[in-house]
Amino acid sequence: MNNGIVSVPGRQNAAVQEYSAGSAGRIRLEAELDRMSAQLVEIPVIAGGRRIFTGRTREIRAPHDKSLLLGVYHEAGPAELQVALESSRQVAREWAQLPWEERAAVFLKAGALISDGYRYRLNAATMLGQSKNSLQAEIDSACETADFFTNNPAFAAAIYARQSASTSKEWNRLEYRPLEGFVYAVTPFNFTAIAANLPTAPALMGNVVMWKPASSSVLSNWYLAELYRLAGLPDGVINFLPGRAGEISDTLLSQHDFAGLHFTGSTAVFNSLWRGIGERLENYRTYPRIVGETGGKDFIFIHPDADFDSAIPLVIRGAFEYQGQKCSAASRLYVPKSAAKEILDRLVAETGRLKMGSPRDYGNFVNAVIDKAAFANITGYIEAARLDSECSIIAGGTCDDSLGWFIEPTIILASQPKARPMVEEIFGPVLTVYVYDDKDIDAAYRLVDETSPYALTGAVFARERVDIVKAISALSNAAGNLYINDKPTGAVVGRQPFGGARASGTNDKAGSELNLLRWVSARNIKENFLPQAGWEYDYMS
Residues that bind ligand NAD (CB under 6 A): 186-191, 194, 212, 214-215, 245-246, 249, 264-266, 269, 272-273, 293-296, 327, 425, 427, 456, 499, 504-505
Nearer to ligand NAD, 33 or 194 (CB): 194
User: Which residue among the candidates 75, 144, 293, 321 is catalytic per the annotation?
Assistant: 293
Nearer to ligand NAD, 74 or 212 (CB): 212
Distance separating alpha carbons of residues 455 and 452, to the nearest angstrom: 8
Contact in structure between 157 and 8 (CB atoms under 8 Å): yes
- Hey, which bits of 253-378 come out as E strands? 258-264, 289-293, 298-302, 330-336
Report, in Å, the least distance between residue 422 CB and ligand NAD: 16
Contact in structure between 358 and 367 (CB atoms under 8 Å): yes
Distance separating alpha carbons of residues 97 and 91, to the nearest angstrom: 10
Q: What angle do CA 478, 483, 489 make, to 5 degrees?
A: 95
Grouping H, G, I as helix, E, B as strand and the rest as coil, residue 306 is coil
User: Which residue among the candidates 32, 80, 143, 327 is catalytic per the annotation?
Assistant: 327
Query: What type of residue is 257?
Result: D
Report, in Å, the least distance between residue 145 CB and ligand NAD: 14
End-to-end CA distance of the chain: 51
Nearer to ligand NAD, 17 or 267 (CB): 267
Nearer to ligand NAD, 406 or 427 (CB): 427
Report, in Å, the least distance between residue 478 CB and ligand NAD: 15
Consecutive H or E run containing 461: strand 457-461
Distance separating alpha carbons of residues 207 and 12, to the nearest angstrom: 25
Nearer to ligand NAD, 393 or 501 (CB): 501
Contact in structure between 110 and 231 (CB atoms under 8 Å): yes
Distance separating alpha carbons of residues 475 and 489, to the nearest angstrom: 17
| DSSP letter, residue 442 | H
Nearer to ligand NAD, 106 or 510 (CB): 510
Distance separating alpha carbons of residues 213 and 243, to the nearest angstrom: 8
Grouping H, G, I as helix, E, B as strand and the rest as coil, residue 361 is coil
| Residue 391 among the catalytic residues | no
- Nearest residue to ligand NAD on Cβ basis: 265
Sign of the C-alpha dihedral computed for residues 159, 164, 167 and 168 taken in this order: negative
Report, in Å, the least distance between residue 218 CB and ligand NAD: 10
Report, in Å, the least distance between residue 481 CB and ligand NAD: 9
| Residue 293 among the catalytic residues | yes
Active centre residues (catalytic): 293, 327
